[in-house]
Structure 1
Amino acid sequence: MLLQMHEDFIIQAKEKLSQDDRLLGLLAGGSLITGSMDEYSDLDFIVVYDACYKEEIMENRMQFAEKLGHLLSAFTGEHVGEPRLLICLYGQPLLHVDIKFVTIQELEQRVENPIILWERGEEVSHLFQKTAPNFPSPDPQWIEDRFWIWIHYGALKLGRGELFELIDHLTFMRNTVLGPLLHMKNGELPRGVRKLEEYEGEELDELKETIPEYSTESCYHALKKTIHLYQRLRQHSGNLEFKSEAEQVSMDYLESVYSSK
């Protein structure tokens, strides 16, 4: 559902950006595509520009963002590996808006087909007709090759009593392994742990048990539950070369560490 604050911001963005001849289009991704926006949704914008102006567009991204509304704060997305991205907070009303600046050529590599809010000519539409999106899925063998090393690392942190690091490590495995595999099992895109609450059943209950309290015992049990849930989910991953020896010695080491506490 598109709320009034979203609609007003989109109208203003289209009006402001369409006045710049260097720009080729304004697109929207995320929950706007699926029609699942609510009062907590942000806006995911893609600004498409002529590659001839790349240097000046990228140098002046903040000025573009300032034109769209009352910009409270903004920063670039290097921390998520996307320096083309501006992460913005507008107000009032408070609204989170992500704005990614891409050339028409860069738009060929995309994870979804965004909605075209505005375009100059039909270049963006033609590109979408000729190319297809590709959402990257994790390679189950890539996960298996690393998982037991990650378990051993968690056991090391448990043994040393570095529980804050271990809690972060468990979060990493939930985002990188368990969440994506659970999404894929349910026929959805592997978007980390995003909206896993929509699933019901035993696996969701198990996933909750991978979130520990700050104690040795709780962190140990969260590691064990992470192992058990991964072992179940990997059965849906097709042909895997199990790292059976690494699996066994890592699990044995975890038990020896915990029993020494």
Structure 2
Amino acid sequence: MIQQQFIEKAKAIFEKDNSVTGMAVGGSWLTKEIDEFSDVDLVLFTEQKVSGDRELMLQYARSIGDFLSGFTGEHVGEPRVLICLYDNPLLHVDIKFLTIDEFSDRVETPVILIDKTGMLAAQIAQSQAKFPYPDYQWIEDRFWTWVHYALLKIGRGEYMEAFDFFGFLRMVVFGPLLHIKNNNLPRGVRKVEMSLNTDDFINLQKTIPQYSRQSLLESLHNSVVLYKELRAELFVNNVQLQKNAEVKVLEYFEEIKKRK
């Protein structure tokens, strides 16, 4: 497996680097779901803080393979990650740069490959991985305004803008909530094809429109139906429902449907 070969090469190189205190691997390596389409998620621990110094991050990345390109992960909210593409073989590798002290806040417990001082294992032993779950109140406070926004775009004829909106809803609302319903971690729409039961996946597919006014409106209707079903099943009693906004937006929905 090309991922294992890359990891073994990186381990051999970083074991000789005195500035490196540890290395671990996470992602699909942990769940043993790695296949030919998997990327590699490395965590590199250094004596001194490296994140924030892009050139130094690139220097480490270039040392372990046939480096093609790399950029930091601000767009996914993690500037400490360098997202890399290597050649021979062509492989996507994410490298997160941390000090040992920064590792107490983590979403998973990776497999330790290098731990020169034993401090990495100690840090794992005294802390707990916590995957972020969606805030149901945050979703409810926004959902009906989002639906209204989509109706405005459809009503004006900005179908491409409205089309893209559904991808946002699936990533932020439906994917995570359906994963939770199916006892999975709420990883957006990652692996929904394999991780959701058949009925849930069919309902998610119904939120995918074609490029037409009628299809956009049907998909938005299906989105509302799916959201209300998930809300009823998952949301606890202390979530304050935005009933007034819901009523007004659904009235406007009916008005837009009547127009041509």
TM-score normalised by L of structure 2:
0.95
The whole-number CA distance in structure 1 between the counterparts of 2:60 and 2:128 is 28
Q: Report if the CA contact (8 A) 2:171-2:189 is conserved.
A: yes
Q: Does 1:205 align with 2:202?
A: yes
**Which of 161, 173, 178 is matched with 1:177 structurally?**
173
Q: Does 1:243 align with 2:239?
A: no
Q: How does 1:6-17 map to 2 (within 5 A)?
A: 6-17=3-14
Q: Report if the CA contact (8 A) 2:46-2:98 is conserved.
A: yes
Q: Deviations over 1:180-231 (max 9, x none)?
A: 1111111111100111112222221111011111111111111111110011
Q: Given the superposition, is the C-alpha separation of residues 54 and 10 from structure 1 closer, same or farther in structure 2, using an over 3 Å criterion?
A: closer
* 1:130 CA displacement: 0.3
The whole-number CA distance in structure 2 between the counterparts of 1:56 and 1:217 is 48
Q: Given the superposition, is the C-alpha separation of residues 234 and 120 from structure 1 closer, same or farther in structure 2, using an over 3 Å criterion?
A: same
Give the equivalent residue in structure 2 for 1:143. 139
Give the equivalent residue in structure 2 for 1:75. 71
Q: Given the superposition, is the C-alpha separation of residues 194 and 38 from structure 1 closer, same or farther in structure 2, using an over 3 Å criterion?
A: same
What percentage of aligned pairs have identical amino acids? 44
* 1:75 CA displacement: 1.3
Q: Given the superposition, is the C-alpha separation of residues 48 and 145 from structure 1 closer, same or farther in structure 2, using an over 3 Å criterion?
A: same
Q: Report if the CA contact (8 A) 1:140-1:237 is conserved.
A: yes
The whole-number CA distance in structure 1 between the counterparts of 2:52 and 2:248 is 55
Q: Which runs of 5+ in 1 are unaligned?
A: none
* 1:55 CA displacement: 7.1
* 1:169 CA displacement: 1.1
* 1:258 CA displacement: 2.4
* 1:160 CA displacement: 1.0
SS of residue paired to 2:253: helix
* 1:57 CA displacement: 6.2
Q: Which runs of 5+ in 2 are unaligned?
A: none
The root-mean-square deviation of aligned C-alpha atoms, in Å, is 1.4
* 1:54 CA displacement: 3.9
Q: Report if the CA contact (8 A) 1:58-1:84 is conserved.
A: no
* 1:113 CA displacement: 0.4
* 1:165 CA displacement: 1.0
Give the equivalent residue in structure 2 for 1:168. 164
**Which of 18, 21, 32 is matched with 1:21 structurally?**
18
Q: How does 1:151-162 map to 2 (within 5 A)?
A: 151-162=147-158
Give the equivalent residue in structure 2 for 1:187. 183
Give the equivalent residue in structure 2 for 1:40. 37
Q: Given the superposition, is the C-alpha separation of residues 19 and 56 from structure 1 closer, same or farther in structure 2, using an over 3 Å criterion?
A: farther
Q: Report if the CA contact (8 A) 1:203-1:229 is conserved.
A: no
Q: Deviations over 1:71-129 (max 9, x none)?
A: 11111111112111111111122111001101111111000101111111210000000
The whole-number CA distance in structure 2 between the counterparts of 1:56 and 1:12 is 25
Give the count of matched residue pairs: 257
